[in-house]
Each structure stands twice: as structure tokens, then as C-alpha cells.
Amino acid sequence: MTLKAMQMSLLINSTQITVKDDLFINAYQEGYLKYKRLFEGQPISDERIYDFIAQDVYFPVKHDVENAGYITGWFAGLLFEHNAQSSIEERSRKQSIRRYLNGARRRRMSGKT
């Protein structure tokens, strides 16, 4: 009996990653959760990013596929948080513009300028 590897797709920003290896996807999830658990919402320096990568690239404890998945998952967490924050800021900016335009329209309709 032969086992077929299950193919899965991950979407990070607008990039689709096709994954055929369970080691990669499991490590991806582990890296993503590590980011969420230990780093989310905190300022991160270039040194912390370097330390994180160096720990897994220069001193790998796991298989190369797992290391790649783990690092990819960690960065996916970072990008997801950044994109979520950008979306909140963009929404807030659009709401402010809408309020300003609605106020200007009301002033114009009431004859005030």
C-alpha cells in the first residue's frame, strides 16, 4: 500500500504556496502559533528577527523541510498582524474622510460654507 501525500495550499498575502509535505505544514502551524503566542502585538527589532532566523537556520534541530515551514509560518504571523493593523488604519482613515465629506455636504446643503 502506498500513501499519497496530501496537497494543500496556503495563502500568504496574495501568494499561494502549494504544500505537499506534512512536515512543512505542521511546522508552518507551529511557527505561526509561536509568533502569535510570543511576539504578536509587541515591537520587534531587527535583532530579534535575526535571532529567530539564526536559531532555526544556523542551528537547525529539525529536518530542513520543517525549518522552512516553521520560518514561513512565523513570518506569515508577522505579515498577518501587519496587514490586519494596516486594514484597521485604512478603515479608520476612510471613515474620517467619509465623516468630513458628509459634514461638508450638510454644510453646503444648509447654505453654510
What digits encode the pLDDT tens for the residues 12-60?
777 788 888 888 888 999 999 999 998 888 888 999 888 888 887 776 6
Q: What is the pTM of this model?
A: 0.62
Which residue, 75, 68, 62, is CA-closest to 34?
75
pLDDT of amino acid 104: 65
Q: Rounded to 5 degrees, what are φ and ψ at 19? A: -120, 130
**5-9, 50-54, 105-109: which range is least confident on average?**
5-9
pLDDT of amino acid 33: 92
Q: Are 56 and 15 in contact (CB under 8 A)?
A: no
Q: Give CA–CA dist 25/31, Å, rounded.
A: 10
> What ranges in 1-113 are assigned the alpha helix state H?
22-38, 46-57, 64-109
Q: Give CA–CA dist 50/52, Å, rounded.
A: 5
